[in-house]
Amino acid sequence: MPRGTHARTLAFEGVKESSMSELVAIAFENPFEADRMLTELNRMQSEHLIDLADAVVAVRQPDGKVQIKQSINRHVPGTVSGGLWGGLFGALIGLLFLHPLAGFAIGSVAGVETKAMAGELTNYGISDDLIRSLADALKPDTSALFVLVRKAQPEKVLGELSRFKGRVLRSSLSADQESRLQQALSAAGAQA
């Protein structure tokens, strides 16, 4: 189940209010298609057609190993604030020992490292266990895209996604919404 999605959001239909993001996992028959769709979703996000809370690409290599690619860097947001707070705290401690600059430098490094480690240990967004279990079921030389969608303009998004051939592995969408998504993903196969 998705974790860390408690912000007030709009469901995939774009009309119904919900307190959770919608999870969608899509499988592709080649190892590059999930990355291509994520690139397209990022483009649509920049045009405010969709709002993604999280996105992960899983690729099952020909040798059977699974490579997971997180789209959100968990380290960056916390390391800046950690460095600042650590530096200020270090400077205050340094004042006690008459070395405020050394305290600031040491505190900054300690703050950055602490926040980076905390970011690595914090799990938000799509459950790692869900990603791993579905990715392990993929055939070799295929890929999957996992997204948490906060809100979307469904007609425009589905129109763009109809260029990609895939199948819905799992979703938290309603049966009607999931059916419409699968029809859009199947349209690419019919056109090819």
Give residue 127's pLDDT: 87
Range(s) of the domain holding residue 93: 76-121
pLDDT band at 125 (very low <50, low <70, confident <90, very high): confident
The residue among 90, 121, 152 that closes a domain is 121
1 domain-assigned: no
Considering the entire predicted model, what is its pTM?
A: 0.66
The residue among 101, 121, 141 that closes a domain is 121
**Stronger pLDDT, 79 or 128, i.e. the higher one:** 128
* In a shared domain, residues 140 and 187: yes
* In a shared domain, residues 22 and 59: yes
The residue among 121, 149, 182 that closes a domain is 121
Whether 183 has a pLDDT exceeding 80, the answer reads yes
Give residue 179's pLDDT: 93
Q: How far apart are CA 140 and CA 63, in angstroms?
A: 7
* In a shared domain, residues 43 and 105: no
Give residue 86's pLDDT: 56
Structure confidence by residue, pLDDT tens digits, 107-118 = 665 655 555 555
Q: How far apart are CA 61 and CA 50, in angstroms?
A: 29
98 Rama class: left (phi>0) / alpha (psi -120 to 50) / beta: left
2 domain-assigned: no
* In a shared domain, residues 81 and 164: no
* In a shared domain, residues 57 and 88: no
If we measure between CA atoms, which residue out of 144, 180, 163 comes closest to residue 43? 163
**Stronger pLDDT, 11 or 41, i.e. the higher one:** 41
Q: What is the mean pLDDT of the chain?
A: 76
* In a shared domain, residues 15 and 60: yes
Whether 149 has a pLDDT exceeding 70, the answer reads yes
* In a shared domain, residues 167 and 187: yes
Give residue 126's pLDDT: 87
Beta bridge partners of 145: 26, 57
3 domain-assigned: no
Give residue 95's pLDDT: 59
Beta bridge partners of 58: 68, 144
* In a shared domain, residues 60 and 87: no
* In a shared domain, residues 87 and 114: yes
Give residue 8's pLDDT: 31
